[in-house]
Amino acid sequence: MVKWGGNAGSTGPWRLAGAYDRRGPVQCRSGAGSCEGRATRQPGNRRIALKRESMRTLAHVTHEAVEKVGGIGAVLQGLLTCSAYRGRDQRTILIGPTFATEGSADGRLGASGEVLYSSVDGVTQHPVGRLLDQVRRDFHVEIIYGYRRFHDPHTGVRVTVEVVLIDVSRMHAHQVNSFKGRLWEACGIDSSRYESSWDYDMYVRLAEPAIAVLKALGAADSDDECVILAHEFMGLPTALAARLDPSGAFRTVFYAHEVAAIRRLVEQHPGHDVTFYNVLSGAISRGRYLDQAFGSQDHYHRHALVKCSRFCDRIFSVGDYVTKELFFIGPEFADAAINTVYNGIPAQRISVADKHVARERMRDYAEILLGDRPDYIFTHVARMAVSKGLWRDLAVLEHLEREFRRTGKTAVLFVLSTEVPPRRPEDVREMERWWHWPLAHREGGSDLSYGEAVYYQGVQVSNVRSRMIKTIYVNQFGWEQAVCGKNMPQEMSFMDIRRASDVEFGMSIYEPFGIAQFEPLTFGAICVPSRVCGCVGFLEKITGGASVPNVFVADYCDLGPGRWDEKKLLALDRDQRTQQERKVAQRIARYIIDTLPQTDAQTEELLRKGYELASRMSWDVVAGKYILPAIDAVCSKKADSQVA
């Protein structure tokens, strides 16, 4: 037995409960001593006072503490800016590792951030500087503390939260090994198996300094509630360190945006989702688990950490399939406290005229590149990853092409996806000049990465075969002239690719939720997710399973009649899976043809229904109905005294 928790400690009669208010961080003026109290702006004036009061702190541990690079960043942006979250009197701190220490303090916390303390840059004259200096010396780390702003482009809301970045690259080995020993004793994690993984080591190193920083910032005093939200495997070492902390001041939540080992299995097996989810369904019905069906996954460091998420006070699963996947890990999850807390999607009402404005900009762009103005705009916005199933779009276009030749209709599919950081604007201009990017691409250099080149081969084949539908692959996020080149209309913004869309593809093979698939829903698009997308479960919950014109669920896992036992499913190869994909593609194409609006009245009806659905799936709904009540339940529960 390993003891967890203990008597709550205190840092003294005053503590820093957050050097910020809802409009942004503030600093205590000189003369406030160590400022171990809450610094607040008084309404109506600029005075700063110390207050002694208890407060809840939500500490989000994530690799996207500063930059939005994927799904977690989208979740943070939606959650932190929604009115339900902002309406709570609580403090928000984002914690993550720093990936680079070169350069100056400007920009370390993002383009809109401000550094208040940075041991890297010698900026240490802050009221909490003395306490952070002590943490830095104790753990041999560098600390950057300040704030960053979040902006919701749909509502215009801007919020400011605290951010802590920790450089763990120079921590002493004995400190790291000591914590790894405690992880072995408490959780059974054999860190020696993952010594070659800096991905593992970095987040293990982050754990104890992160807890110490939270204490230094006054987030874990005896009368406070500090909830660690461990976003994905990266945050789990910090959550486990919180459970091992003797103060008992912390509550812990594993925010499961995916199940890492299962993502890898789905991506690597030639049968992808068709194989995995059919095996999952059959195995669960027979009481079998992941290791029995697919072999041990313990060699994968992310899986080893996710298995320990059961030690957290609560697990937040972003979709029904993720919940099933967690229970599928093994019988030890049978008693785990798992809440399905869906992600939210944007809900913004626009008019038919607004949609026409965006469509004309997109048609202008298509005409500049192709010489013709399409009748319809299709879109797919996603990361460049196998899990996104981008090749499935092209199979649908094959079937649509035949019908469009008959009717004389035309369309352009804009695919916005990349697997590398943004290209420099000057490089984009050179690519435009020399090989007409993004209409054409070249491998290597500033253009196609390896994964992008593999996808682009399929785009080339599709464009050669098709007369009525063309695909334009834009491997540069931003969607504005400054970053996407002079051929893009000057008035263009990212919202145009969402508002203009007639159809948004999103037939992923692994998609724990799929915010991007439903982002254009509020703008009247026909959204086409796959059955395994978590957003489908949310949609069915609010509609009672009734069909809606704005969404077609592509069910690739439905193999129809016939005997498909586990052995046969595991042997399913690429050709068999492709054959199944073609059958589904035909059904998708038929639905799109039957549903595409022909008149403004039909467009207006899709806008009305799309907004109605999106408003019931918004971040306000998710935060108010799922996330915040679950956090309340976590805080109402006494800390476990021990875990077997």
pLDDT tens per residue across span 477-488 = 999 999 999 999
Whether 159 and 52 share a structural domain: yes
Residue 315 pLDDT exceeds 90: yes
Segments forming the whole domain that contains residue 269: 261-344+624-630
pLDDT value of position 530: 98
Name the CA radius of gyration of the chain, rounded: 26
How many Å apart are CA 374 and CA 352, to the nearest integer? 18
In one-letter notation, the amino acid at residue 5 is G
pLDDT at 559: 95
Q: How many domains does the chain have?
A: 3
Q: Do the domain assignments include residue 639?
A: no
Q: What are the tokens at 403?
A: 């019908």
Cα gap 282→276, rounded to integer Å: 10
| pLDDT (average), residues 125-134 | 94
Rounded CA gap, 476 and 438, in Å? 9
Q: Is residue 635 included in any domain, yes or no?
A: no
Say if 426 falls within a structural domain.
yes
Check whether residue 270 and residue 399 sit in a common domain: no
Q: In what order do the strands lie in the sheet with 411-416?
A: 469-474, 411-416, 376-381, 503-506, 526-529
Number of neighbours of residue 321 by Cβ within 10 angstroms: 27
Look at 146 and 4; give whichever has higher pLDDT: 146
Task: Note whether residue 31 is domain-resident.
Answer: yes
Does residue 642 form part of some domain? Answer: no
Is the same domain home to 91 and 202?
Answer: yes
Residues 323 and 361 in one domain: no
Residues 6+ apart with CB under 8 A from 170: 140, 141, 142
Token pair in block for residue 236: 């789990």
- Final residue in a domain of this structure, among 194, 229, 259: 259
| Position 183 pLDDT exceeds 50 | yes
- Of residues 444 and 591, more confidence is placed in 591
Span 621-631, pLDDT tens digits? 999 999 999 99
Same domain, 397 and 248: no
Indicate whether 455 and 340 sit together in one domain. no
Task: Dig out the tokens for 364 from the structure.
Answer: 């202008």
- Are 76 and 188 part of one and the same domain? yes
Among 1, 33, 86, smallest CA distance to 628 is for 86
pLDDT reported for residue 463: 98
Nearest to 100 by CA among 91, 109, 112: 109
In a domain, 550, yes or no: yes
| 3-state DSSP of 419-475 | CCCCCCHHHHHHHHHHHCCCCCCCECCCCECHHHHHHHHHHHHHHHHCCCEEEEEEC
What does the mean pLDDT of the chain come to?
Answer: 90
Residue 641 lies in a domain: no
Q: Is the dihedral of CA 566, 568, 569, 571 positive or negative?
A: positive
Contact 273, 530 (CB under 8 A): yes
DSSP letter (8 states) at residue 28: P
Q: Of 199, 228, 259, which marks where a domain is finished?
A: 259
Q: What is the pLDDT of residues 194-252, one digit of tens each?
A: 999 999 999 999 999 999 999 999 998 877 899 999 999 999 999 999 999 998 899 99
pLDDT tens for each residue of 253-298 = 999 999 999 999 999 999 999 999 999 999 999 999 999 999 999 9
Q: What is the pLDDT of residue 639?
A: 53
Res 63: pLDDT = 95
Q: pTM higher than 0.75 for the full model?
A: yes
pLDDT over 80 (residue 532): yes
In CATH, what number is assigned to the domain containing residue 435?
3.40.50.2000
Instruction: Tell me, yes or no, whether 319 and 454 share the same domain.
Output: no
Preceding omega of 422 cis (within 30 degrees of 0): no
- pLDDT for position 59: 98
> Which of 204, 237, 259 corresponds to the end of one domain?
259
∠ CA 394-398-550, rounded to 5°: 70
pLDDT tier, 50 (very low <50, low <70, confident <90, very high otherwise)? very low
Q: Are residues 47 and 132 both part of a single domain?
A: yes
Give the pLDDT of residue 638.
62
pLDDT tens digit sequence for 411-437:
999 999 999 989 999 999 999 999 999
pLDDT in tens, 380-393: 999 999 999 999 99
Q: Do 335 and 357 fall within a single domain? A: no
427 and 364 together in one domain = yes
Task: Kindly state whether residue 478 falls inside one of the protein's structural domains.
Answer: yes
Do 494 and 153 form a contact (C-beta atoms < 8 A)?
Answer: yes
544 & 609 share domain: yes
Question: Which residues is 470 bridged to in the sheet?
Answer: 412
Mapped onto helix, strand or coil, the DSSP state of residue 193 is: helix
Check which CATH number belongs to the domain holding 146 and give it. Answer: 3.40.50
